[in-house]
Amino acid sequence: MSDFEPKIIAMVCNWCTYTAADLAGTSRLTYPSNIRIVRLMCTGMIDAKYILKAFLDGADGVFIGGCHPGDCHYINGNLKAVKRITGVGKLLEQFGFDPARLKLQWIGASEGPEFQRHMTEFVAAIQAMGPNPARDCMIL
């Protein structure tokens, strides 16, 4: 599956990980182009529906990036996200999705290189997993 080019949704919070992504840009740190960033205000606003939707629409991976614990712009939105995301991962696992297709990572606003590293690693991990089995889903 070496020529498989996954499509990955990265839902990132405005204050930390989105800023880190910008910083990766201003620092000209390149990473695979498979990432599609969706900006949200906080990981705490990530509804289970968004993750399900991304996978049912064929995303090969979903990356969620938020502020480090304690740094959340909204005090603890990131912590609230953890359980919900873990739960959705467990749910997807029941239907044959590799739970590793869903990843949550804390990347602070100043961590441009970390952003680059996580994107690179996640893309490689998804590439190894192959395409999302829901790509051919017609009962959405």
Partner 1 sequence: MKYEKPSIGVYVCHCGMNISPKVDVENVVAFAETLDHVTVARDYKFMCSSPGQEFIIKDIREKGLNRIIVASCSPRMHEQTFRKACEQAGINPHYFQMANIREQISWVTKDSAEATAKARDQVAAAVARAVYHAPLTSREIKVKKSVVVIGGGIAGIQAALTAAEAGYEVHIVEREPSIGGHMAKFDKTFPTLDCAACIMTPKMVEVAQHKNITLHTYSEVDSVEGFVGNFKVCIRHNPRYVDASKCTGCGICTTKCPSKVLSEFDQRLTHRKTVYSPFPQAIPNTPVIDRDHCIYFTKGKCRACKKFCEAGAIDFNQQEEVIEIAAGSIIVATGFKAFDPTPLSQYGYGRYPEVYTSLEFERLNNATGPTAGKLLMKNGKPPEKVAIIHCVGSRDSRYHPYCSRVCCMYSMKFAHLVREKTGAEVWEFYIDIRSPGKLYEEFYNRIQEEGVHMIRGRVAEVTDIPETKKDEGRLTVVAENTLTRRVLRVPVDMVLLGVGLEPADGSDAVGRMLGVQRDADGWFNELHAKLAPVKTAMNGIFLAGCCQGPKDIPDTVAQASAAAGEAVSLLAKGTVRTLAEISYIDPDLCSGCKTCIEVCPYTAISFDESRRVAVVNEALCKGCGSCAAACPSSAAGIRHFTDRQIMEEMEAILL
Partner 2 sequence: MHPFVIIKTDGHLSNAVAGFLKKLLTEQIADAVLAAAPTPYSLLPMPTLFTAPDLIEKADPLAPAAPFNSARQAISVLKHDTGKRIALVLRPCEIRALIELAKLKQCSLDNTLLIGIECLGRMENSVYLESASQNPGLTQAFYEDPDLQKHICSSCAICTRFQPVHADISLCLVGMPANECIGLSAETEAGLSVLKQLGFETSEAPARREDQIHRLLDERKASKAALLSENKDKTDSIEKFQRYFADCLNCHNCRVACPVCYCRECVFLTDVFAHDPEVLLRRASKKGMVKLPADTTMFHMTRMAHIAHACVACGHCSSVCPSHIPVADVFIRVAEEIQKLYDYEPGRDLSEAIPLLVFDENTGNEGI
Which positions lie near partner 1, rule CB under 8 A?
7, 9, 18-19, 21-22, 24-26, 28-31, 33, 35-42, 44-50, 53-54, 57-59, 73-77, 80-81, 84, 116
- Do 133 and 58 contact (CB within 8 A), yes or no? no
| Residue type (1 letter), 65 | G
Give the x-and-dash track for 2-41 against partner 2 (CB under 8 A): ----------------------------------------
Which of partner 2, partner 1, none interacts with 100 (beta carbon under 5 to 8 A by kind)? none
Out of 91, 113, 120, 131, point to the residue binding partner 2 (CB under 8 A).
91
Q: Report 46-75 residues binding partner 2 (CB under 8 A).
A: 48-49, 52-53, 56, 68-69
Q: Listing from the earlier edge strand, what are the strands of the sheet with 102-106? A: 35-40, 8-13, 61-66, 102-106
- Identity of the residue, 1 or 138, whose beta carbon is nearer to partner 2 in the bound complex: 138
Nearest to 61 by CA among 125, 2, 106: 125
Q: Which DSSP state fits 67?
A: P
User: Cα 55 from chain centroid?
Assistant: 11
- Identity of the residue, 18 or 97, whose beta carbon is nearer to partner 2 in the bound complex: 97
CA distance 69 to 94: 29
Which of partner 2, partner 1, none interacts with 85 (beta carbon under 5 to 8 A by kind)? partner 2
Phi/psi region, residue 130 (left: phi>0; alpha: psi -120 to 50; beta: rest), is left
Give me the residue label for tokens 């599956």: 1
Which of partner 1, partner 2, none interacts with 68 (beta carbon under 5 to 8 A by kind)? partner 2
